[in-house]
Each structure stands twice: as structure tokens, then as C-alpha cells.
Amino acid sequence: MKKVTFLFLLFSFIFSGFAIAQDKVKVNAQIRPRFNLDDKDFNSATEANSYTELRTRLGVAYSPSANLTGFIQIQDSRIYGTEPSTMANTQNLDIHQAYFKIENLFELPFYLKVGRMELSYGSQRILGAVGWSNVGRSFDASLLQFQNDAINIDFIAARTNESMLEGDSLDTFVYSAYGNLKVVDSHIIQPFIIAEYQAKQDFNRYTIGIYATNKNKGAGFKHELDASYQLGTQRTDVDISAFMVAYNLGYTFDSKLKPMIGAGVDYLSGDDGADATKYKTFNTLYATNHKFYGYMDYFVNIPKHTYGLGLMDIQVKGSIVPIQKLKVALAYHIFNANADYTLIDGSTSASFGSEIDLTLSYKYSGNVKFVGGFSFFTPGDIFKERKGEDSSNWTYLMAVVNL
């Protein structure tokens, strides 16, 4: 009932805004159904599971003055048929974003953003909005950005866990500074630091890194470097010392078919547990890992999904535009651990397996895009022992409709 009341008030706000001043109100919406044929269980004796996800978003931005904007975005996330009946009303509604933004704060080169918001920086290997997810990620945070001709810096303060205990015990805080250097016109250079702190738990972790890429979006070379180092303590007697380095290179040919070829490697450090005073496994924090480590999402939660062993992803990829509006892309990943895994028979292995991802995307119009894909995973020694010896596959078809 409370959510119904909220929706009524929100729509009243929208239509009253249109009536008062249409130039001050902007409304956007997205409807995204995605059908999945999921056979990811590494067991050929079982049949594939089919299901359809649906994510619906409605956003309203209102600017009563030149320097002030408020934005509210509601979201419904569901899977077809999971409600008890066609007459049921399961509560899937949530506020995905709700913030205000003040530009030129006190007539200084700052803007302030406070509330619930998506945060997405660099390649999203560390901090991303996870747009692929049927829910997506948002933070309860405050953001202060400094702007001048040489650099932009975003100062972020967020709370990712609130225990409501005395003295903020078990609360988790995230503080970050993300820079955008404007010293080279042809490149994006973004240094950053992220500090995580958990009150009264002897946990503090600092991630220091840099992201750099050229701005080329057409024919020619495209390259990117992502590097981070983590330090701190997770108990009074365990020091964190971990790192991540990723380098990707691609070349797009200047022709009608726009063929692209590329290759890259992502290296995330792991830990074999030999030194109990050191923790060497890199944590990808709040990353959009679906973009990088295979579309079947076996490595979304790192380090959990790599068993703390780290990850080396060697990949080759290519794409082509065979007809107007249609893009066909193919990627091949070889996944290995960066610390030895001891198998049941006493031997060691570093192989998770390999994956092929085929993706087709068709831009039907300026507001509608269809995307489909097929992925196939061949398990290595580690996954054969932990998950199963058979190959796995997954097929999907998705429509993205922006209104």
C-alpha cells in the first residue's frame, strides 16, 4: 500500500510538472525483457532452464533553477511467472536512484550530489553500475566534484552497511577520490583511491590505481590500461597486499564492414595461503565484472568465485557489421588461477576453463535495440572438480526499449 501511494504521488508530481513548466521536467523510462536458456550447471544429464527477466525503470528529473536538479528513478525487477498467481501483487518496486544536485556550489567550481545514485568510473573494473544485472547497483552516498581546466576530482562518501548498533559497530564506510586529468587531449587518464573501513572490526582496505585509454572511437587503434594495488589490514595480524593489471588492445579497420580485432590480458593476484600474515588476493570491490570475465558470469564475485586463487584472463575478440544496424561480436577467454589449486589426487592445477561468447546486436531504431547471444564454457581441472566435468552453455535474447 505504501508503494502504491508513493507511485500515485510520483505520477502526480510528473503531470503537475508538465503542467507548470515542461522545460523544467524531463521524464525517461526503460523496459528491458530478457529471455534466458540456462544450461550452466556442468551436468549434461539435466535439461536447460528457461526463464525471462524483466526490468522496468521510470525516472523524473526536475530543475526548478539553473543550478539545482532533483532526480528520482523507480525500478521494478522481476522474473516472469514468479508471483503466486496472475492476481497477485508481489512487491518488486524499489527506488533505484533519488538525489539532488547543486552546480556551482557557493559560486565556486564545485557541484554537490547527495542521495541514492549509480556510481560508474573508468572501465568499471573497480566501481560500476552493473547495467547488465536485472537489478543494478546503486549507492547511498554524497559526491562533491571539483572542476577546473586541468583536472576534475570526485570526492565520494558512501555507507554500504548500516547495522544500527551503538558506536557504528559493523557499519561499513567507503571513501573515494576519482580524478580525471585533462593534460593529454587524446587520452583519458583517471587516477583514483578508494578507502574502505568497517568500524570496530580491524578492517581497512585501500585501493590505489589508474585507468588510461585513448579517445579513439572510430577506425584505428584503441588501447586501455587498468592497474590497481590494494593494501591495509583485515585483521590485526593480516596485511593486505594485492594487485590487478589489465591491458587491452584493439584495431578497427576503416571499411564498410567495420571489422575489429583485439586481444588483452587481465591479471588479478591470488593467494595460496602459504603466508598466514599476508592476504594477496585482489578484490574487485564494486565492479561490473560481467563486461570482462565472460558473459556466463562464473567470475562475477571476485575473489569468491576464484576461490581466492586470483585470475588470469587471456582473451581475443573480434566484431563485424555485416549489414547496417547489425553487429556481430565474438570473444574467446582462457581462464587460469594465479595460485596453484591442489586437486583431490594431490596434483596441482591452475586451469578454470575457457569460454566462447557470441553476441548479435541490432539497432532497430533510436529507441529500440535487440541483443542476443550464445556462450559455451569448457571446464578446466579446477571447475571439473568443483562444478562438474561436462561443458555448459547459455543463450539469451533481450530487448532494450528506451522511452
Kindly report, residue by residue over 254-270, the tens digit of the pLDDT: 999 999 999 999 999 99
pLDDT at 12 over 80: no
Q: What is the DSSP string of 136-181?
A: ---EEEEEEEEE-SSEEEEEEEEEEE----GGGTT-EEEEEEEEEE
Share of the chain above pLDDT 90, in %: 81
Binned at pLDDT 50, 70 and 90, residue 8 comes out as low
Mean pLDDT of 40-50: 94
The answer to whether residues 115 and 98 touch, using CB atoms and an 8 Å cutoff, is yes
Binned at pLDDT 50, 70 and 90, residue 177 comes out as very high
Which is higher by pLDDT, 24 or 91?
24
The residue count of the chain comes to 403
Kindly report, residue by residue over 269-300, the tens digit of the pLDDT: 999 888 889 999 999 999 999 999 999 999 99
Mean pLDDT of 115-119: 97
Distance CA 403, CA 94 (A): 20
The CATH class of the 2-402 domain is mainly beta
Cell numbers of 63, please?
530543475
Binned at pLDDT 50, 70 and 90, residue 310 comes out as very high
pLDDT in the model for residue 84: 87
CA 351 to chain centre: 25
The answer to whether residues 117 and 129 touch, using CB atoms and an 8 Å cutoff, is no
pLDDT in the model for residue 19: 53
Distance CA 289, CA 18 (A): 39
pLDDT in the model for residue 134: 96
pLDDT in the model for residue 320: 97
The answer to whether residues 132 and 138 touch, using CB atoms and an 8 Å cutoff, is no
Distance CA 183, CA 110 (A): 20
pLDDT at 121 over 90: yes
Q: How far apart are the first and last CA of the chain?
A: 27
pLDDT in the model for residue 38: 97
Q: Taking all residues of the chain, what is their mean pLDDT, rounded to a whole number? A: 92
pLDDT in the model for residue 159: 94
The answer to whether residues 74 and 95 touch, using CB atoms and an 8 Å cutoff, is yes
pLDDT in the model for residue 237: 82
pLDDT at 15 over 80: no
pLDDT at 13 over 80: no
pLDDT at 132 over 60: yes
Mean pLDDT of 351-380: 98
The residue assigned the cell 544485472 is 133
Domain ranges across the chain: 2-402
Binned at pLDDT 50, 70 and 90, residue 213 comes out as very high
pLDDT in the model for residue 89: 79
Helix (H) or strand (E) holding 11: helix 2-20
pLDDT in the model for residue 16: 57
pLDDT in the model for residue 205: 95
Which is higher by pLDDT, 4 or 135?
135
